Structure 1
């Protein structure tokens, strides 16, 4: 569905798939004259509430007033691992669309997104991105083809109401994986809801299993460049799967739904059917705007880190431009990216204007997230909008008090989405077959992932 005034924001997804892709197209009909009128189509989520639509409408109006030669149209686009490759190959994506950190380099190397690096280099903050984050959108020569617009570290999301009903203290969430298991059992026993839930399909099972592996000190890959080898059958992954097996079959604390993806687990969590789950730490805006999460019930904390080299998986989202966009459309697209995604992080007037629109339409203002620049810039931006913040910051405190102190480990650098896809069935097997052989499952996955790496 497309409209000139449509729905706002996009999902901050940790797992998007590039697959085997062809160049994407653009539906805009505009002159190639960079000084003439131009129309661009931008990506937005489906299924948002009217308040979110109204907020986005207002931002478009502000942008068009400041850029009278640019008209913005919108197209609903919510990423799915099963459809993204086809949408890219079919040329049905908008001019501006989100891609994950993990897929940036592959799309750049294949020329499947526009080279907007000269335009990005002219932005005043082009050299100010956190270097680790900037690398996700850069070509091998350092030119930035895609702009980082959001970053995340994984968090443990929990329902404060279910914690209280289970006799747990929502202000003191679990700090070890044993405590996660104990809390999950208490929630299941006392409330009848799933104490802990796990994504399992659309590459999300492998994504979260990798997250749990990192948190226990393991890695899915070793080496760099041409010397990368798979290590998915490591002790930490075995430990993570064994914990899931115990929670599922011994404690009966994981409910009865074992085919969750990112969208469906968000729905059930927001509906109060899940006590805890792991996902990107900046997930609150989606839970609120798309799933009507009760702010008073929401809680989030950092992941328990145990073992040598433990860390939290980090990722994020890049804004890319269609390779079929004309020069004029590319220039307009970068102006939109700057206006809508970045200016609110770097300019006080823009930050306040965006926050005012969001507050007036009852959208989240001030929900914490891992910064794409540095901590100082992030804290300065939060200070600009402090009088407009309308989220319960105290419910985020277990995360924000610790997130800058946790090591952030990038996602596997080679065959990332294929690796995640190969691990989905492993997680599914452990949760659906009481006699699943974890060692055998990981041995098979090890061979499969190594073959994927060898072909990458």
Structure 2
């Protein structure tokens, strides 16, 4: 769910990334009733679009990098004026923004929200424009499916931050506690032991978890998935069952409870969402937490983390057949956009999000701009491929001279990123399920005597009611 959280490969069962191959599509990209992508609008007529920009916390270097890319885009397309807006998807405000028509023409949503918004008729049909791109038929089909309607048309495209939930850690705190930062924990028992050692030796919380709003439920689900559990099941008949009482959900809550009340190693804050926990980690308030594997970019751009800060990344521990929860971001276009704005919007999506993955010149230009910013922005943060593993590795080779992230300190993740078991997010009412779960996480953090079984039973009833109401 991240995106601040967010979200995932909506597929039946689990998968290995190595099995995901790029798709092919023999359809004519101009087969839409309206003719060619530009048939309904003069391609040279002036048009203005607003686009989702950066997080409100982004630093000046990141803002300048975006400004430079907008300038270059407008030089290529002189008839298009682009205005960016600070943007952070939040479950608590998105619905109001969508209903009120205050979203930019190009906006970002979690992968899991694509299907629902499409079914509700709330996204623009951008099928003909996307298919006209040079790589319009090359998307990873498992990812693209999240932005396709039942009519097969494309309403949103996978754009960035396709990730697996991973464990982020402060290497310097590991060293201060007498632990080897090159041997991060690989089991939840080891995470607990290391968290206690760090707290006992340094006084800093060894572990923290998101607990605020849907992000708290998101990370509880990630913990359950890593332990072999699910928060929703389906018999394949289109009907879904909430399983918030899964033993793996309880096991992860009891684990958090032990860290908080037995070891005193869990950061005693129930107000941590995605942004808040990043800030706390960047400020040295905690040693370990789980989040999307791509979060290093946000830590650099908004939380003062640098290549020599001491950041470490490793795979989330798994047992009992569990895997890493996956997620990411779709780029979509507002329903009330004109044809000219849709055309311009897809050109921007290509320019800002995707062309750097397909075109060496664009890849190098983007990497060079980020690397030479002051302060430098992250280049080369590990993410899962929007197109294919081969394309990802090739594009990384294009920018190798500009990669500035501490890849040697991310090997615990990069060594398994293409082979680890991946778990898609729930398919039905996922945000409602997360919202039902986060109060349980907060209760465990704030109440030593929290009745986990009772709380999960109540949450499950709430989650099932949301699923049933959605049909």
TM-score, normalised to structure 1's length? Answer: 0.92
CA deviation map 1:406-437 (0-9, x unaligned): 11111000000000000011111111111111
1:276 counterpart = 2:288? yes
Matches within 5 A, 1:355-370: 355-361=367-373, 362-370=376-384
Shift of 1:97: 0.8
Shift of 1:33: 4.7
1:435 counterpart = 2:446? no
Taking the aligned partners of 1:202 and 1:158, their CA distance within structure 2 comes to 23
Q: Name the residue aligned to 2:404.
A: 390
Q: Name the residue aligned to 1:23.
A: none
1:119 counterpart = 2:129? yes
Shift of 1:129: 1.6
1:100 counterpart = 2:113? no
Q: Name the residue aligned to 2:59.
A: 49
Is the partner of 1:72 in helix, strand or coil? strand
Taking the aligned partners of 2:173 and 2:408, their CA distance within structure 1 comes to 17
Q: Name the residue aligned to 2:76.
A: 66
1:172 counterpart = 2:161? no
Is the partner of 2:287 in helix, strand or coil? strand
CA deviation map 1:34-60 (0-9, x unaligned): 430111111112122111111111111
Check conservation: 1:114, 1:325, Cα contact below 8 A. Answer: yes
Matches within 5 A, 1:293-312: 293-296=305-308, 297-308=310-321, 310-312=322-324
Taking the aligned partners of 2:164 and 2:137, their CA distance within structure 1 comes to 22
Taking the aligned partners of 1:14 and 1:54, their CA distance within structure 2 comes to 25
Q: Name the residue aligned to 2:18.
A: none
Is the partner of 2:167 in helix, strand or coil? strand
1:38 counterpart = 2:47? yes
Taking the aligned partners of 2:262 and 2:163, their CA distance within structure 1 comes to 33
Gaps of 5+ in 1: 1-10, 17-30
Q: Name the residue aligned to 2:465.
A: 451
Q: Name the residue aligned to 2:225.
A: 214
Q: Name the residue aligned to 2:148.
A: 138
Is the partner of 1:73 in helix, strand or coil? strand
Q: Name the residue aligned to 1:338.
A: 350
Check conservation: 2:260, 2:268, Cα contact below 8 A. Answer: no
CA deviation map 1:367-425 (0-9, x unaligned): 11111111111000000000111111111111101111111111000000000000011
Check conservation: 1:204, 1:262, Cα contact below 8 A. Answer: yes
Q: Which has the higher contact order (CA 8 A, sep 6+)?
A: 2
Taking the aligned partners of 1:216 and 1:299, their CA distance within structure 2 comes to 22
Q: Name the residue aligned to 2:6.
A: 15
CA deviation map 1:152-197 (0-9, x unaligned): 1001000111111111111110000000000111111111111110
Check conservation: 1:270, 1:294, Cα contact below 8 A. Answer: no
Check conservation: 1:152, 1:282, Cα contact below 8 A. Answer: yes
RMSD: 1.4
Check conservation: 1:35, 1:328, Cα contact below 8 A. Answer: no
Taking the aligned partners of 2:67 and 2:239, their CA distance within structure 1 comes to 49
1:161 counterpart = 2:190? no
Check conservation: 1:13, 1:316, Cα contact below 8 A. Answer: no
Taking the aligned partners of 1:258 and 1:110, their CA distance within structure 2 comes to 34
Q: Name the residue aligned to 1:7.
A: none
Taking the aligned partners of 2:434 and 2:340, their CA distance within structure 1 comes to 37
Q: Name the residue aligned to 1:5.
A: none
Taking the aligned partners of 1:167 and 1:380, their CA distance within structure 2 comes to 39
Taking the aligned partners of 1:379 and 1:104, their CA distance within structure 2 comes to 27
Select the residue among 257, 278, 302 that pairs with 1:266.
278
1:242 counterpart = 2:233? no
Check conservation: 2:268, 2:446, Cα contact below 8 A. Answer: no
Shift of 1:227: 2.5
Check conservation: 1:134, 1:148, Cα contact below 8 A. Answer: yes
Taking the aligned partners of 2:355 and 2:46, their CA distance within structure 1 comes to 23
Taking the aligned partners of 1:153 and 1:418, their CA distance within structure 2 comes to 21
**Runs of 4+, deviation exceeding 6 Å:** none
Shift of 1:204: 0.8
Shift of 1:141: 2.6
Shift of 1:246: 0.5
Taking the aligned partners of 2:153 and 2:311, their CA distance within structure 1 comes to 40
Check conservation: 1:40, 1:70, Cα contact below 8 A. Answer: yes
Is the partner of 1:207 in helix, strand or coil? helix
Taking the aligned partners of 2:237 and 2:315, their CA distance within structure 1 comes to 31
Q: Name the residue aligned to 1:4.
A: none
Taking the aligned partners of 1:47 and 1:443, their CA distance within structure 2 comes to 38
Check conservation: 1:12, 1:283, Cα contact below 8 A. Answer: no
Check conservation: 2:4, 2:88, Cα contact below 8 A. Answer: no
Taking the aligned partners of 2:429 and 2:144, their CA distance within structure 1 comes to 20
